[in-house]
Amino acid sequence: MANNREYRIERDGRGRERLVRSSSHRDGGSHGRARSARELLNDAEDRIETMNGEILSLQTRLSYAQRDNWQYQNIVNEHQQCRNIRAQLDAQVREVRRLEDLLADEEDTSARLRHKNEELKEKYRLMKRGSREDEFKLRYEEKLAEVEVLRRRLVEKDELLGVEETRIADKNRTIVYLKDYLRRHGFHVED
C-alpha cells in the first residue's frame, strides 16, 4: 500500500506550486493513470525552465522600462533647467537693455557737458585775450560780416527778380503777339 501512493501538484495560498503525495488512490483525481515521481519531476523542471524564461523576459522588459524612465527623467530635468536658463536669459536681456538706456543717457549728458565746456573755453580764451571791449569788438565784426553776406544775398535776389521780370515781360509780349496773330486769321480768342 505504501507503493500505491501518487504525487500531485498543488498551489499554495501564494500561488506557488508544490509536489504533494496523495494518501489514497481516490485523491489522484480523474487523470486516468497515476503519474510517476519522475514524470512529475520532469514536468516541474519544464515549468521551472519556462518560468525562468518568463522571468528573464520580464527582467529585460523591466530593464528597458527603467532605462526609458531614466531617459524621461533626464528630459524632464533638462526641460526644467532650460526654463531656469530661459528665465536667467530674460533677466539678463532686461538688465542689458537697462544698462544700454543708462549708457545712452550718460552719453547725452557727456555731450552736453562737452559742449558747455567748449563754450566756457571759448569765453575764457576771449577773456584771456583782452578786456570785454575786445570781445564786443569781435562780436561786432562777426555781425558786420553777417550783414555784408545778407546784403550780397539781397542784391543777388534783386538781380534774379529783375531777370525773372524780364522773362515774364517777354512771355507776355509773346502771348499778345500770338493772340493778335490768331485773331487776324479768323480765330476767336478770349482775353
Give CA–CA dist 88/95, Å, rounded. Answer: 10
pLDDT in tens, 88-131: 888 888 888 888 898 888 888 888 888 888 888 887 776 666 66
180 to 34, 168, 188: CA distances (angstroms): 149, 18, 10
pLDDT at site 103: 86
Confidence at 136, pLDDT banded by 50, 70, 90: confident
- For 1-56, the pLDDT digits (tens) are 445 557 777 777 777 777 777 655 444 444 445 678 888 899 999 999 999 999 99
Pairing of β 7-11 and β 17-21: antiparallel
Cell 538706456, residue located: 101
More confident position, 16 or 72? 72
Q: Are 138 and 125 in contact (CB under 8 A)?
A: no
pLDDT band (50, 70, 90) for residue 80: confident
Digit-coded pLDDT (tens) for 152-187:
999 999 898 888 999 998 998 998 898 888 888 888
Q: How is the chain split into domains, by residue range?
A: 146-191
Per-residue confidence (pLDDT) for residue 73, from 0 to 100:
92
pLDDT at 129: 63
Q: 13 φ, ψ to 5°? A: -65, -20
Concatenate the DSSP letters of all residues of 45-90 into one string.
Answer: HHHHHHHHHHHHHHHHHHHHHHHHHHHHHHHHHHHHHHHHHHHHHH
Distance CA 34, CA 90 (A): 82
Helix 132-184, helix 37-129: angle, nearest 10: 100
Tell me the backbone φ, ψ of residue 11, rounded to 5 degrees: -105, 135
First to last CA, the chain: 156
